[in-house]
Structure 1
């Protein structure tokens, strides 16, 4: 069993430029679509991995950031790269993760403008992803590439057998 790790700090970048006002980041949810198959002699269905749900993440930042907002929509031939760095403490030792993300901003939601606390007005962006990779201290934990038929978990490509059969 591993030791407890506590997230202490994080930063978020778009195309190598730090988003200064970023104050909330929600990493992609990893969710498997489950199909239930039932044969004639089965009392209950057998769950089957039927691929993954769409990958999205969300970032919230104060004010306005033109570098971030310029990534709205899908531009032919271009894919935006985002990077999240996280610093953890584990038994007095600093550990770091790097999350590489590729996709485009699919939604921009601006906070309501009220009469008080205008300095805390934020913009929330949803990012539709076609690539996600999480590394811990140089070790690959998760890598999902929707266009190249790759789903690696702890270095094991769960789709390689199928990819070979269909000549990918």
Structure 2
């Protein structure tokens, strides 16, 4: 019998700056294959055809006012901000803790400054549209997506390599 690994703690880095003790929450991007239904002559029903990946978005909540992050808003580059999240997951069954690193690149499309009230906690929520995502578990890259460079790696297999090889001729 096993127990689930759950998040014990997390840290965020941007431009080498650690946000340990400041990061309050990280909402990971949803990973989804874009599909379009197709039904041709003689088919009994529709099948979903692979049309690439859906757009990715992540949200970072900071427990405080972080000027350096606010200054990243409005970037004219699709790669306006690069973040590295480091998380520790542990199961209470004696297995060692698992290190999970998440690398994201994109731009902040929204900053929700929330409400400010003297004596209350301050939280700012940063939403980022992503062009890059990489998930590393215990030092092994499990997934990497680079929307601009045409990389779609899962478990060490580049699922888009054949297409890029054709395009690069």
How does the TM-score come out when normalised to structure 2? 0.89
CA contact (8 A) 2:9 2:88 kept: yes
76 and 8 in structure 1: CA distance in 2 versus 1, 3 angstrom threshold: closer
Q: Deviation above 4 Å: which 4+ runs of structure 1?
A: none
Q: Any stretches of 5+ residues in structure 2 without a counterpart? A: none
Separation in 2 of the partners of 1:129 and 1:156?
21
Separation in 1 of the partners of 2:79 and 2:168?
27
- What displacement does 1:16 show? 1.4
CA contact (8 A) 1:112 1:121 kept: yes
CA contact (8 A) 2:141 2:155 kept: yes
Q: Deviations over 1:119-142 (max 9, x none)?
A: 323111101111110000111111
1:4 paired residue number: 4
- What displacement does 1:70 show? 1.4
1:111 paired residue number: 114
Q: Any stretches of 5+ residues in structure 1 without a counterpart? A: none
CA contact (8 A) 2:78 2:107 kept: no
- What displacement does 1:77 show? 9.0
Q: Deviations over 1:67-114 (max 9, x none)?
A: 111111224596421010000114431210111111111101111245
1:24 counterpart SS class: strand
1:16 paired residue number: 16
